Structure 1
């Protein structure tokens, strides 16, 4: 499977990059490579969580090179539904931390990852998670350290994320009773959207 082969290649790249300065990441990447070979599909990867943890570990080091690899692989995992929904808060915390880093490439990759989160089964539904996710976009939009490219990307990401939130509300309302809780989701979305859109309007 191409996805599994790509992940193994990413783990080898991570191990090689971490070899000198971050031996703990190197060892964890090598262990994860062996673990990956015992798994056969994205669902098993999501259930085990080991592969996700190594990429989050790489991001936690706050090295630009390791974070680029970590975020790129995180995008792959999310896009292939290889991440459990319970990992959302940890992923949002990682993205929040990276939004504070001054490197433009990491800021852009953070925004790219955030949009993938909103497009996936991980999409935030609680008011707290939505506020944090959209707040990351606003932070990069408002930060004096952000380049024009980052600000433009943050604005576009914010708009797309809000649109996806309301699309999900509409979808939930169209489902039969018992299949979703549109009132709760709609209330959360409206509350968050009102707050962040007000901030967004003041920023522009």
Structure 2
């Protein structure tokens, strides 16, 4: 059974790790946007908890963990404090945002898919919710920072696809009853690596065939 492979403490730890790395990415973006300390904290919290909050509401895990576990609230604040005092040089902030965001993407697509399945969703629905869990915080982050979400930008490197792959791998492992800490870590690492490779080699999803658009390249 899936419940035996992922104990409550393991699931909680996985959630906290994902929350921390997503909060780092949100706080780094806030620094790059020249937000004050309150803005940094808000963006860290929203980035870290946005996807998980949506997940818990959909699967009926209410009240959401973000409102019942103090650790879920404190962890983003700790990440924000870390960034406030130890953020990298300005020219390196974007690299930090990308790396931490990729790590959060990998961790959350696994955690979201696993928890959705534990609450009775089918494999396909669980994978979809794993995707939403992974990208939801990033969407909230970009909206609050007054940017078009990377998820919707045709001129940005692949973002949702790595999360889809990671969530699909978890669903396949569940279906074939081979999901364990090693295979779940492998799925998270695969999503993480795909995102970094997409950034390195500028992989992008194709657009509509024979499109005719007045949008200027790079806008």
Q: Same fold (TM over 0.5)?
A: no
TM-score under structure 1 length normalisation: 0.32
Q: What is the TM-score with the length of structure 2 in the denominator?
A: 0.30
Decide which structure has greater helix share.
Answer: 1
